[in-house]
Structure 1
Amino acid sequence: MCSTEFNTLLMGNADFLRPYAITLTKDSESAKDLYQETLFRALANREKYLAGTNIRAWLYTIMRNIFINNYRRGNRQYRLLDNAMGDFLLHQQQPSIGNYAENGLRVKDVHMAIYNLPVIFKQPFLLYFEGYKYYEIAMILNEPLGTVKSRIHFARKMLKSRIARY
């Protein structure tokens, strides 16, 4: 299929994309951007279109994939809404100020909970916490690998129940 035939076919079926873009984005400006991006991608990838197949389905798929990718990209970015004039979106890049005394108390509670674990669970858990691999802990303690894994698992469960308030 030559490029003029493809362009004619594309423009003849492009109007059906506008309502779908509005349905996805729920915003007219975002829908326009999505519509334009879809047409651009369709033109850029026209060699991937197989003549005789349903072009509307192909265009809907392109639009849906662009929308999903943009949505995922937006979730990865942390945004802060500024209530100033115009409601600008600011990217939050500065760390928040924490309460170091409260954090110190939490660390003490965690250490106390680890210290109060039964010895059979505390020893493998501390080795795991220090960065040893399961098989290394099994060799150090001269225990089977499955036993080490289960003891670390039970130690985690105990710690979660004791430190559940955080």
Structure 2
Amino acid sequence: MSTIEFNEMLVSNAEFLKPFAITLTKDNEQAKDLFQETLYRAIANQDKYHVGTNIKAWLYTIMRNIFINNYRRKAKQQTIFDSTPNDFLLNIKQAAVSNDAIAKLNMKEVQAAIHELPEIFRNPFMLYYDGFKYHEIADILQEPLGTIKSRIHFARKILKEQITRY
């Protein structure tokens, strides 16, 4: 197909894209941008169009993909920047001091909660906590793999309910 034939087919079918662009963006200006970007991509990728393919569906697919990619890009960029001056932080030479006492109290509470678990959950959980893989725990305890996974899951669930601060 020649470039002139492709461009004529594109122009004759382009008007159907405008309502779709408005439906996607809900904004006239963004819809115009999306429409232009779609036509640009269609022209740039003319070699990927196969004669006989439904041109409307091809253009709709291009527009939908552009919209989805732009949406994802904007979602990643939703970062809040604090533009207030932070000059007072520039020359601080103090190091952060960690409070080991609080960490030790928290670990004692976690260990106490683990030891309160029923033995059927505690044993697989402790092996998992020590770094064993599920299949290794199943071999050690001579239980099916699914049973081990569910017991560890329920142990986590019980611990989560007991230790509400975390």
TM-score by length of 1: 0.69
For these two proteins, the number of residue pairs brought into alignment is: 150
CA deviation after TM superposition for structure 1 residue 60, in Å: 1.4
1:24 aligns with 2:27: no
- CA–CA distance in 2 between the matches of 1:82 and 1:33? 30
Paired position in structure 1 for 2:11: 11
- CA–CA distance in 1 between the matches of 2:44 and 2:121? 59
Letter in 2 for 1:11: V
Paired position in structure 1 for 2:136: 136
Paired position in structure 2 for 1:58: 58
Seen in structure 2, the aligned counterparts of structure 1 residues 70 and 148 have a Cα distance that, compared at 3 Å, is same
Paired position in structure 2 for 1:69: 69
**Superposed CA RMSD:** 3.1
Letter in 2 for 1:12: S
**Deviations 1:41-76, CA, capped at 9 Å, x for gaps:** 211222232334432222112101221222233334
**Deviations 1:58-117, CA, capped at 9 Å, x for gaps:** 211210122122223333444227799xxxxxxxxxxxxxxx88x957666544432321
CA deviation after TM superposition for structure 1 residue 5, in Å: 0.7
Seen in structure 2, the aligned counterparts of structure 1 residues 107 and 37 have a Cα distance that, compared at 3 Å, is farther
- CA–CA distance in 2 between the matches of 1:80 and 1:64? 28
- CA–CA distance in 2 between the matches of 1:109 and 1:78? 38
Seen in structure 2, the aligned counterparts of structure 1 residues 146 and 55 have a Cα distance that, compared at 3 Å, is closer
Paired position in structure 2 for 1:41: 41
Identity %: 63
CA deviation after TM superposition for structure 1 residue 159, in Å: 2.1
CA deviation after TM superposition for structure 1 residue 164, in Å: 5.3
- CA–CA distance in 2 between the matches of 1:26 and 1:65? 16
Letter in 2 for 1:145: L
Letter in 1 for 2:43: L
Seen in structure 2, the aligned counterparts of structure 1 residues 108 and 56 have a Cα distance that, compared at 3 Å, is farther
Seen in structure 2, the aligned counterparts of structure 1 residues 82 and 35 have a Cα distance that, compared at 3 Å, is farther
Larger Cα-atom Rg: 2
- CA–CA distance in 2 between the matches of 1:106 and 1:28? 55
CA deviation after TM superposition for structure 1 residue 119, in Å: 2.8
- CA–CA distance in 2 between the matches of 1:107 and 1:36? 59
Seen in structure 2, the aligned counterparts of structure 1 residues 68 and 51 have a Cα distance that, compared at 3 Å, is same
Letter in 2 for 1:39: L
Higher relative contact order (CA 8 A, sep 6+): 2
Q: Give the SS at the match of 2:80.
A: strand
List alignment gaps of at least 5 residues for structure 2. Answer: 85-97
List alignment gaps of at least 5 residues for structure 1. Answer: 85-99
Correspondences of 1:119-134 after superposition (within 5 Å): 119-134=119-134
Letter in 2 for 1:149: K
